[in-house]
A = this chain, B = another copy of it.
Amino acid sequence: MSERPDDPDIFKGGMPALSARLERGDILSELCPSRGILRHLASRWGFMVLLVLMTGTHRFSELRRKIGGVSEKMLAQTLQWLEGDGLVLRVSYPVVPPHVEYSLTPLGLEAGGRVKDLADWVEINLPRIAAAREAAQ
């Protein structure tokens, strides 16, 4: 990891203070809160919610239709996780029938960019991965 040149011995015997590693954010540590965030946005549905919201604001049922196979329950839960992490903005209009709009916050837009990079790479390289799979067979 290139931004960790100062502590080659971070993992050997003499670890720097745990608190220092956590402040900076050390995902390899068991206690680091970044693990939880990553579980949300790299979850099965979190990934795809970000991908769709990258294309613009959506209503709940629009998201549900675009993301193949997601259940109402999991979509609602995933949206709540991402809202709690400050990545997704939920705007509810008090009309009937209900009208709720979901979009990305600036934070969510940044994260979404990275997520999209990874997803795009996987999609583009599917043939190479499939080939590796058969070779490994």
**A residues in contact (CB < 8 Å) with B:** 1, 3, 10-12, 24-35, 37-39, 41-42, 44, 47-48, 51-52, 54-55, 65-69, 71-72, 83-87, 105, 107, 110-111, 114-126, 128-133, 135-136
SS of A interface (majority): helix
What is the chain B residue whose CB lies nearest that of A24? B123
Query: A71 contacts which chain B residues (CB < 8 A)?
Result: 1
Question: CA–CA, A123 to B36, complex, Å?
Answer: 11
Query: A136 contacts which chain B residues (CB < 8 A)?
Result: 83-84, 86
What is the chain B residue whose CB lies nearest that of A105? B132
Tell whether, in the assembled complex, residue B25 and residue A124 are in contact, meaning their CB atoms are under 8 Å apart.
Answer: yes
